[in-house]
Amino acid sequence: MKNELILILDFGGQYNQLIARRIRECNVYSEVVPYNITIEEIKQKSPKGIIFTGGPASVYGEEAVKCEKEIFSLGIPILGICYGMQLMTQMLGGKVAKANMREYGTTKVSIDNKSLLLQGFESTNDFLMSHTDYVQTTPEGFKNIASTPLCPNAAMENVEKKLYGIQFHPEVNHSINGMQVIKNFLFKICGCTGDWVISSFTQESIQKLKEKIGDKKALCALSGGVDSSVAAVLLSKAIGKNLTCIFVDHGLLRKNEGDEVEEIFKKQFDIHLIRVNAKDRFLEKLAGVSDPETKRKIIGEEFIRVFEEEAKKIGTVDFLVQGTIYPDVIESGLGKSSVIKSHHNVGGLPDYVDFKEIVEPLRDLFKDEVRKTGLELGIPENLVYRQPFPGPGLAIRIIGDITDKKLDILKDADAIFREEIAKAGLHKKINQYFAVLTNLKSVGVMGDERTYDYTIALRAVETTDFMTGVFSKIPYEILEKVSSRIVNEVSHVNRVVYDITSKPPATIEWE
Ligand code: XMP
């Protein structure tokens, strides 16, 4: 059965992903596509509705990007947001002009709540506005349905043609009740029923993978992270032993983590897993190296070498599995918002493995949807909700050069910290927390003895995007317990400090 689909035409706005998210929160499947998608492609996808996103350009400027005009006569409901509304206006014969003053921030909007799009609102509502251009004259056949003192046409509609435009952004949290606008569009205007749920996604994708791969062979690099784990389990449900997973254990994982990964995938899911214990090899390459960037480079390169060697032993495979997720796909550039960064998972295909095709089973999912899929597949909760862990692992949490002994100290201290955070029930509140082995030795006293040993730093941050964050205000009693346990239970540590810097100016990791 084909799911209801809302197509989001990407004109380069910064909230495009968020719009897609919000729609899926309403159990309607949505896809972001480039603004210049052809009419033929749209017809093939047969969406229930189309959304034009915002965008940085001015519709009358040189940078303006446009869709095909025929889109307005397909009979499919369209909602233009910000630039999307202005584009609709200009293409249909209305007038867009530059305002004297930029309107930015949460703004009181007067509303005609008899309009289907704005039903359920009072006569005014706070919405986020962010624009300089505005619709001066709506196109023929359109009716004004909202305004602000600075923006006479803050929303418009042509009910007969099912065309709607809004100058404000309903998808952001600053807009009060913004979801109501989205729901009105989906359910009242497009006639969606909300049939998209993650369990149907899971079953459908297993079926699709079965059909695509058949009895051919696939290879997956498993890191123990959420994305590659979910991708691997999906694949194994579809093709069983024709999937081989390679797990390169560089020895820089957290305490017992390598064994846990092996246990889950081999025992619980009966996946054909090759674990490569390459710790000695990595430590040899890292010996005496203390520059953070050099450490990262060495680990990245060595990782590829090890994977390559193992893959060669397997020989040619038909498919290489990648755990690419939807934000990676969007960020690597679909439409106009392109080239923000080119993600390593997309585009840059590894040329060191002999394979015929890439398969990316999570390409359409957001992170929390990947997690739901993982739970649905029976992957343990602690793995599904695993906090982010950097590829170079503990190597960038040991300041200075890395030795086996330092790794053991850090693993033990980190395990105690994590255990106490979980015991205190803070593990869901704090988004990332770990110990760092500083390169600092200081004087202490234990019993009657003078000690000269390492300082462990504890780091805990609360963040949603990991680009900015604040240090977590962990209660003193918990910090005290962690500190006392680390100094008592981990040899060669005589001091524990807590990192109270936010990001920025500090980064989350210490290296
Ligand atoms: P920073 O330290 O830049 O970290 O504030 C932001 C987030 O990115 C993670 N991180 C990495 N993840 N490879 C990764 O896969 C890396 O080299 C890497 N460096 C940092 C970090 O753990 C945090 O969640």
Let me know whether 175 and 242 are in one domain.
Answer: no
Q: How far apart are CA 384 and CA 361, in angstroms?
A: 17
Let me know whether 77 and 40 are in one domain.
Answer: yes
Residue 356, pLDDT above cutoff 70 = yes
Domain membership of residue 454 (yes or no) is: yes
CB-CB contact of 91 with 66 (8 Å)? yes
Quick one: pLDDT at residue 347?
38
Predicted confidence (pLDDT) per residue in 90-124, tens digit: 999 999 999 888 999 999 999 999 999 999 999 99
- Tell me, in angstroms, the distance from the centre of ligand 1 to residue 414's CA: 17
Pocket test for ligand 1, best of 293, 301, 328, 466 (most atoms within 8 A of CB): 466
Quick one: pLDDT at residue 181?
98
Q: Which of 344, 363, 384 is the last residue in one of the domains? A: 384
Looking at every residue in the chain, the average pLDDT score rounds to: 92
Let me know whether 86 and 157 are in one domain.
Answer: yes
Quick one: pLDDT at residue 335?
43
Let me know whether 458 and 337 are in one domain.
Answer: no
Q: Which of 384, 408, 441 is the last residue in one of the domains? A: 384
Averaged over 297-320, what is the pLDDT? 90
Q: For residue 28, count CB atoms less than 10 angstroms from its CB and return exposed for 0-12, middle for 13-18, buried for 19 or more.
A: buried
Q: What is the pTM of this model?
A: 0.78
Q: How confident is the model at residue 206 (pLDDT cuts 50, 70, 90)?
A: very high
Averaged over 36-41, what is the pLDDT? 96
- Tell me, in angstroms, the distance from the centre of ligand 1 to residue 358's CA: 25
* Crossing angle for the helix pair 476-489 and 404-423, to the nearest 10 degrees: 150
Pocket test for ligand 1, best of 252, 509, 510 (most atoms within 8 A of CB): 509
- Tell me, in angstroms, the distance from the centre of ligand 1 to residue 288's CA: 23
Pocket test for ligand 1, best of 254, 399, 508 (most atoms within 8 A of CB): 508
Q: Which of 189, 214, 249 is the last residue in one of the domains? A: 189
The residues carrying an active-site annotation are 82, 169, 171
Averaged over 427-447, what is the pLDDT? 95
Domain holding 176: CATH number?
Answer: 3.40.50.880
Which residue reads 């923000």 in tokens?
340
Domain holding 460: CATH number?
Answer: 3.30.300.10
Let me know whether 291 and 230 are in one domain.
Answer: yes
Q: How far apart are CA 178 and CA 169, in angstroms?
A: 8
Let me know whether 150 and 31 are in one domain.
Answer: yes
Let me know whether 41 and 121 are in one domain.
Answer: yes
Domain membership of residue 324 (yes or no) is: yes
Domain membership of residue 510 (yes or no) is: no
Q: How far is CA 35 from CA 7, 87, 128, 185, 482, in A?
A: 10, 11, 23, 20, 53
Domain holding 218: CATH number?
Answer: 3.40.50.620
- Tell me, in angstroms, the distance from the centre of ligand 1 to residue 487's CA: 27
Q: Using alpha carbons, select from 204, 237, 244, 253 the residue that is nearest to residue 407.
A: 253
3-state secondary structure of 201: helix
Predicted confidence (pLDDT) per residue in 263-299, tens digit: 999 999 999 999 999 999 999 999 999 999 999 999 9
Residue 396 dihedral angles phi and psi, to the nearest 5°: -95, 10
Residue 174, pLDDT above cutoff 90 = no
**Which residues span the domain enclosing 61?**
5-189
Let me know whether 157 and 220 are in one domain.
Answer: no
Predicted confidence (pLDDT) per residue in 61-91, tens digit: 988 999 999 999 999 999 999 999 999 999 9
Long-range pairs of 89-92 with CB within 8 A, sequence gap ≥ 24: 89/59, 89/135, 89/137, 89/138, 89/139, 89/156, 89/165, 90/59, 90/60, 91/66, 92/139, 92/140, 92/142, 92/163
Quick one: pLDDT at residue 355?
81
Q: How far apart are CA 158 and CA 95, in angstroms?
A: 16
Domain membership of residue 487 (yes or no) is: yes
Let me know whether 375 and 403 are in one domain.
Answer: no
Let me know whether 76 and 184 are in one domain.
Answer: yes
Q: Using alpha carbons, select from 424, 426, 416, 423 the residue that is nearest to residue 461.
A: 426
Let me know whether 205 and 320 are in one domain.
Answer: yes
CB-CB contact of 212 with 359 (8 Å)? yes
Q: Which amino acid is at 474?
A: I
Comparing 349 with 315, the larger pLDDT belongs to: 315
Residue owning the nearest CA to atom 4 of ligand 1: 508
Q: Which two tokens stand for residue 17?
A: 């992903």
Q: How confident is the model at residue 316 (pLDDT cuts 50, 70, 90)?
A: confident
Let me know whether 240 and 287 are in one domain.
Answer: yes
Residue 366 CB contacts under 8 Å (≥ 6 apart), including other chains: 17, 20, 21, 24, 325, 326, 327
What atom of ligand 1 comes closest to residue 469's alpha carbon?
5
Produce one character per residue of 104-135: b if its CB has 16 or more CB atoms within 10 Å, e if not: eeebebebbeebbbbeebeeebbbbbbbebbb
Q: Which amino acid is at 162?
A: K
Q: How far is CA 424 from CA 185, 211, 421, 474, in A?
A: 44, 47, 5, 10
CB-CB contact of 364 with 31 (8 Å)? yes
Domain membership of residue 391 (yes or no) is: no
Q: How far is CA 355 from CA 73, 243, 311, 320, 351, in A?
A: 44, 13, 10, 6, 9
Domain membership of residue 508 (yes or no) is: no
* Crossing angle for the helix pair 198-213 and 367-376, to the nearest 10 degrees: 80
Domain membership of residue 503 (yes or no) is: no
Which amino acids bring their CB within 6 angstroms of ligand 1? 296, 388, 390-392, 432, 466, 503, 507-509
Q: Which two tokens stand for residue 11?
A: 């004109």
CB-CB contact of 153 with 136 (8 Å)? yes
Q: How confident is the model at residue 235 (pLDDT cuts 50, 70, 90)?
A: very high
Domain membership of residue 390 (yes or no) is: no
Q: Count the domains in the chain.
A: 3
Residue 28 CB contacts under 8 Å (≥ 6 apart), including other chains: 4, 5, 6, 48, 186, 192, 194, 195, 196
